[in-house]
Structures are given as structure tokens and as C-alpha cells.
Amino acid sequence: MNVALIEEKLHLVLAEIVAQRPLALSSFRGGAEQLDWEMGIYSSFIDDGEAELAYTRIVSLLGWIPFKLTHRGAVALIELALIYGLKTTDEEDRAFNFCDFSPFCFWKTPDLDGRLKISPLNKQQVAQRIEAVLSLIDAQRNTFPSSVDSGRNLNEQLSTIRSLLATGELSLAYEGCVCLLERCPIQVPGSVAIGLIELALTFKFKTHRVEDAEYVWPCDLAPIP
């Protein structure tokens, strides 16, 4: 994994957050000076070899300030979650902390014993998080350029993913959701972006396309209850 590319992804997400400064000021308890200082610290973390710390801080921030990301920012978070193998280091996110097994961090095949056999999300939670993305695409589709709907009809693609959910083909539904997200220029609320992080850490891959090979963990999918 290219370290410069990781830094680029983090700076992309951070820039989208900084661009929403007025929104942050209405929610940030420390005021403008504290906000600007903290955003500067995050940027320094990225540039000074503490990118993982910047990632976890940004994810935590998305959890309590209602920022919106672009679809590119949301996809970047999926990729970063798979690189670092965790959501945050908070105790409440312990179920999504697989950093000890991350093939990126340790350059080894993860141990299949222990937590890798336990899915952090159940079937209903998986479906809810995927449907949240599909609903955003439905709601914002009138803003898409015509090129987004080339080839297969968007209605058909959404219907296919929902059918996969209904029949319990959750892994395929997740993969279809990520592929569709990459193409559809939607605005993604932070809560939905966090849901995508949780999905990535549940399935342990982004997609199985050749170009996403580095975001596929070499382990079997844990059963989803």
C-alpha cells in the first residue's frame, strides 16, 4: 500500500469536513479557535506519520457532528477502514477493531481463530446499512449526470441489490452497493459513512474487482447471525 495514497485519502476526507466549517461551529463545543486548532492537528497527524490516529479521530468526529461527505470521501473511508482494520479505538467500537489481524499492518495471513470468526453486524444491521446507501441514491438521482445511468438502468441495479438483500445474499449486495456508490455522485451523511465502515469491517473486503485486490483480506467471511 502506498503511504502517499493513504495520506491523500485522509486529506480528501478532512478537506470535505473543513469545507463545512459553519456546520461544525454550530456543533463544536470548543468554538472556532478550538475547531481550527483541531483540524490543523489532524492534518499534522496525516503528514507526520500518524495517519491512523488522524483516521480514528475523523471517524469519531463524524459520529457526533452531522457532516456530509461526497461519495468519493465515503469510498475513501471504506478503503482506510480495511487498511487499518478498525473503526475507532474507543471501547464502544471494540467489535469493529480488527487491527491485530490487518494484512496491511502486519503483512501476514490473518489468524482465523478468535474474533475473525465473529461478525460484528447481524443480518438486519447489514441490510439497514446497505439500504441507507440505496435510499440516498434513490433520493438524489435527479441530480446525477446522464453518464451515471449509462448501460444498465439504475432502477435495475437498485432492484438487483435489494433482491440480493431479500434473499440473504448479503456479501453480493454489499459489493454491489460499493460499486454503485463509486459511480453515483451523492452526498453521504457521516452516519451513513460510518455504516459503510462497519460493513467493510464485517465483510473484510471492498470489492473483488482486480483493481481492489489490495482491499481484500485473505480470510473467510465470518457467519453473519
Residue 221 lies in a domain: no
Q: Which residues contact 83 (CB under 8 A, 6 or more apart)?
A: 1, 6, 102, 104, 105, 215
Please write the tens of the pLDDT for every residue from 56-73: 999 999 998 889 999 999
Q: Three-class SS of residue 205?
A: strand
For 87, how many CA atoms within 13 A lie in the half-sphere containing its CB? 24
**Per-residue pLDDT, 150:** 54
Q: Of 202, 205, 193, nearest to 225 (Cα)?
A: 202
Cell triple for 125: 444491521
Residue 59 lies in a domain: yes
**Per-residue pLDDT, 220:** 84
Count of domains forming the chain: 2
Residue 158 lies in a domain: yes
Report how far apart the first and last C-alpha atoms of the chain are (Å, whole number).
32
Residue 100 lies in a domain: no
Q: Is the pLDDT of residue 149 over 70?
A: no
Reported confidence tier of residue 8, pLDDT bands at 50, 70, 90:
very high
Please check whether residues 80 and 153 belong to one and the same domain: no
Please check whether residues 68 and 131 belong to one and the same domain: no
Residue 102 lies in a domain: no
Please check whether residues 120 and 204 belong to one and the same domain: yes
| Domain encompassing residue 144 | 114-215
Q: Of 215, 201, 202, nearest to 85 (Cα)?
A: 201
Residue 98 lies in a domain: no
Q: Strand ranges (DSSP E) for the chain?
A: 68-70, 187-189
**Per-residue pLDDT, 153:** 83
Indicate the pTM of the whole model.
0.93
Please check whether residues 73 and 126 belong to one and the same domain: no
Reported confidence tier of residue 145, pLDDT bands at 50, 70, 90:
confident
Residue 185 lies in a domain: yes
**Per-residue pLDDT, 22:** 87
Written as one string, the DSSP assignment of 97-110 is B-GGG-HHHH-SPP
Please check whether residues 83 and 124 belong to one and the same domain: no
Residue 220 lies in a domain: no
Please write the tens of the pLDDT for every residue from 86-119: 999 999 999 999 988 887 765 555 555 556 778 9
Please check whether residues 118 and 199 belong to one and the same domain: yes
